[in-house]
């Protein structure tokens, strides 16, 4: 990946232009050594790529290793617990996404940690849209047409997901609740299996991450109906957002950094500010754009507000879905 080297004065000017204050001024003596970002899922996802892009830039600029450590298991709960139990000294942080920091708390009532009590939000980095796609054999070309067709053919349409409680399952249930879309849930295991289920005529639709879809869309194997984020995606500019039909609808994915509760506020603020500098770099923004991400780069306070809203939203989605707690 191409990198852009800027002097500290240049970074300060860029930070000021973007409204980032305190990013490069003297803060605590941090980092003092290697810094760990615990990623609680399998490496290789878009969320993982975002964390590694930022970690690499932080390491280059701050002179210490920033390591993204994958600790998988229990749907992300194992790695999340490890971060919650880490010493709050600025050496360990968590990579958070809807799965481990919003859905699991609603789906797993017996978690050995509390995401609100045991973590402090650092920054909200990016959002990722998901896309509602359907089989080309269906006559619908818009979301209202799909809803009307599903009601006229009640009991005949199925949708695939990556599993009960997966982000794409709950996004579809939010969509069904908001529009009256009639479709029966068929859970699978894994992401691309959902698209394959459409190709094999086992289901007629699914919600899937935007990065997996371009080859299928290019060959007209699936048809994109709507983007689940708050706005259209730059990767699919001609595909409406659900919010254009249902104002306020947003079932996009996101990436946030969290610190173990008790981490000094000055360290949280410094990581937040330095992350925003990384996200402002043209090379990093270009790579994130390729992934379909929209950069947010918030303060810690803004991130905490967003996280509270996301917790409430995904809890409602779990309740609407009727998904059993696990």
User: What are the CA-CA distances from residue 13 to residues 19, 98, 208, 242 (Å)?
Assistant: 10, 34, 39, 38
CA distance 307 to 311: 6
pLDDT over threshold 50, residue 313: yes
The CA-to-CA distance between both ends of the chain, in Å, stands at 40
CA distance 210 to 124: 20
Q: What pLDDT, on a 0 to 100 scale, did the predictor assign at position 23?
A: 42
Give the position of tokens 């780069």.
297
- Radius of gyration (Cα) for the chain, nearest Å? 20
Give the position of tokens 């975002």.
50
pLDDT over threshold 90, residue 11: no
Query: How many Cα atoms occupy the beta-carbon half-sphere of 220 within 13 Å?
Result: 4
- Provide CB contacts within 8 A for 175, sequence distance 6+: 132, 181, 207, 228, 242, 246, 249, 251
Are the CB atoms for 68 and 49 separated by under 8 Å? no
In degrees and rounded to multiples of 5, residue 181 shows phi and psi of -55, 130
CA distance 221 to 244: 25
Give the confidence band of 246 by pLDDT, cuts at 50, 70, 90.
very high
Instruction: Look up residue 286 and give its two tokens.
Output: 């270009």
Q: What pLDDT, on a 0 to 100 scale, did the predictor assign at position 9?
A: 40
User: Which residues of the chain does CATH 3.40.190.150 include?
Assistant: 8-128+252-321
C-alpha of 155 from chain center: 32
Q: What pLDDT, on a 0 to 100 scale, did the predictor assign at position 28?
A: 63
User: Which residues of the chain does CATH 3.40.190.10 include?
Assistant: 130-244
Give the confidence band of 189 by pLDDT, cuts at 50, 70, 90.
confident
State the pTM of this model.
0.88
Q: What pLDDT, on a 0 to 100 scale, did the predictor assign at position 12?
A: 43
For CA atoms 108, 109, 113, 118, the dihedral sign is positive
b or e along 259-275 (b: 16 or more beta carbons within 10 Å of the residue's beta carbon)?
A: bbeebeeebbbbbbbbb
Does the domain at 8-128+252-321 match CATH 1.10.8.100? Answer given as no
Are the CB atoms for 208 and 161 separated by under 8 Å? no
Bridge partners of residue 130, in order along the sequence: 209
Q: What is the pLDDT of residues 295-304, one digit of tens each?
A: 999 999 999 9
Q: What is the pLDDT of residues 78-126, one digit of tens each?
A: 999 999 999 999 999 999 999 999 999 999 989 999 999 999 999 999 9
Give the confidence band of 24 by pLDDT, cuts at 50, 70, 90.
very low
Q: What pLDDT, on a 0 to 100 scale, did the predictor assign at position 272?
A: 98
Q: What pLDDT, on a 0 to 100 scale, did the predictor assign at position 231?
A: 94
pLDDT over threshold 90, residue 17: no
At the topology level of CATH, where does 130-244 sit? D-Maltodextrin-Binding Protein; domain 2 (3.40.190)
Instruction: Look up residue 180 and give its two tokens.
Output: 């009256």
Q: What pLDDT, on a 0 to 100 scale, did the predictor assign at position 211?
A: 87
pLDDT over threshold 50, residue 33: yes
CA distance 223 to 60: 42
């Amino acid at each position: 990946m191409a990198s852009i080297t800027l002097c500290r004065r240049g970074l300060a000017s860029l930070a000021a232009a973007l409204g980032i204050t305190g990013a490069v001024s003297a803060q605590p003596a941090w980092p003092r050594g290697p810094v760990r970002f615990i990623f609680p899922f399998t490496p290789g996802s878009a969320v993982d790529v975002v964390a590694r892009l930022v970690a690499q830039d932080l390491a280059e600029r701050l002179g210490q290793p920033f390591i993204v450590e994958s600790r998988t298991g229990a749907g992300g709960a194992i790695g999340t617990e490890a971060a919650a139990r880490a010493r709050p000294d600025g050496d360990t942080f968590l990579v958070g996404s809807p799965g481990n920091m919003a859905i699991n708390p609603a789906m797993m009532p017996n978690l050995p940690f509390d995401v609100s009590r045991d973590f402090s939000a650092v920054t909200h980095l990016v959002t990722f849209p998901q896309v509602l796609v359907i089989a080309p054999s269906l006559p619908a070309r818009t979301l209202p047409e799909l809803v009307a067709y599903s009601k006229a053919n009640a009991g005949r349409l199925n949708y695939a997901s990556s599993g009960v409680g997966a982000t794409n399952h709950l996004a579809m249930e939010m969509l069904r609740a908001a529009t009256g879309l009639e479709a029966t849930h068929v859970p699978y295991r894994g992401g691309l299996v959902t698209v394959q289920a459409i190709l094999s005529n086992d289901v007629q639709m699914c919600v899937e991450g935007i990065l997996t879809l371009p080859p299928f869309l290019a060959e007209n194997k699936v048809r994109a109906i709507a983007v689940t984020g708050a706005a259209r995606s730059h990767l699919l500019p001609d595909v409406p957002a659900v919010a254009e039909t249902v104002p306020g609808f947003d079932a996009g994915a996101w990436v946030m950094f969290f610190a173990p509760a008790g981490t000094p506020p000055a360290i949280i603020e410094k990581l937040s500010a330095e992350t925003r500098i990384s996200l402002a770099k043209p090379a990093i923004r270009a790579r994130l754009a390729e992934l379909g991400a929209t950069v947010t780069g918030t303060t810690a306070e803004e991130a905490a507000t967003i996280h509270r809203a996301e917790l409430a939203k995904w809890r409602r989605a779990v309740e609407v879905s009727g998904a059993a707690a696990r």
